[in-house]
Amino acid sequence: MIPIALTIAGSDPSGGAGLQADLKTFHQFGVYGEAVVSLITVQNSVSVRRVEVLDPELVRLQLNAVLTDIRPHAIKTGALGNAGVVEAVADALAAIAFDRPLIVDPVLLSTTGAPLFDAAGRKALVERLFPRAYLLMPNLAEAAILAGFPVTDLESMHQAAKVLRAMGPRNVLIKGGHLTGDAVDLLLTETAHAKPFSARRIEARHTHGTGCTYSAAITAELAKGTGLVEAIRSAKAFISKAIETAPQLGAGRGPLNHFAK
């Protein structure tokens, strides 16, 4: 059977992030992609102008339709919008006892640093989805919000990963794309093993959708049955190439090259 991956995420009409980026990435990794829409944005490479979160019941119905027909081998969540949508997703997964990898990209902040979740949304995310997550993937700013202290280097990344893993996810990958020097991500596994993944920093303006694409690439590999460490390694190599060969689209922070090999 062909590997199947599902994204539950927001729509980016410019195609650089959100479920559009996820589906492109799934395809590039040889995986059949499905998408449940959680919210709709009005955005491009320059700005996010409006966000409309869908009714939680509509999100639940979309997810139920997929899970009861073409069941995915792995699922990733992106921007969910509010506590109601988080609850709808958690309830739908619980209803069928979904036991394949769930990758949670918390998406607490926009690229500009604006909050995308209120306190109730964060609480629901921690209580309902973190315990179900095979992999939690916050960036430095999100890790700091969730852990409750600044995360600025490898040592604080390690400490934050331990705090986050205690919240329920089996594995935690903190993305260090905004560290000084090389781009180093830190994985803390369910066996408490810490493993860094380092890549040369690429100075580039066109990085829109990097987090979405990275988590989608890992999800695709997990859907194919690849082990976690190798899935992260493959995804990180793809992200580096996608940034390096970005097609230079848009007047602001344009999209990556989702055709990267």
- What is the set of active-site residues? 175, 207, 209-212
The whole-angstrom separation of Cα 54 and Cα 129 is 19
Report d(CA 85, CA 15) in Å as an integer: 22
- Contact call for residues 224 and 198 (beta carbons, < 8 A): no
Starting at the earlier edge strand, list the strands of the sheet with 102-104.
48-53, 32-43, 4-11, 74-77, 102-104, 135-136, 171-174, 183-188, 194-199
Q: Is 141 exposed, middle or buried (0-12, 13-18, 19+ CB in 10 A)?
A: middle
Owner of token pair 């995986």:
31
CB 176 within 8 A of CB 140: yes
Residues in the chain: 261
Are the CB atoms for 103 and 222 separated by under 8 Å? Answer: yes
CA separation for the pair 177, 32 (Å, rounded): 28
Residue 210's nearest CA partner among 149, 129, 137 is 137
Rounded-to-integer distance, Cα 195 and Cα 253, Å: 30
Shortest CA distance to 215 belongs to which of 227, 202, 232, 230? 232
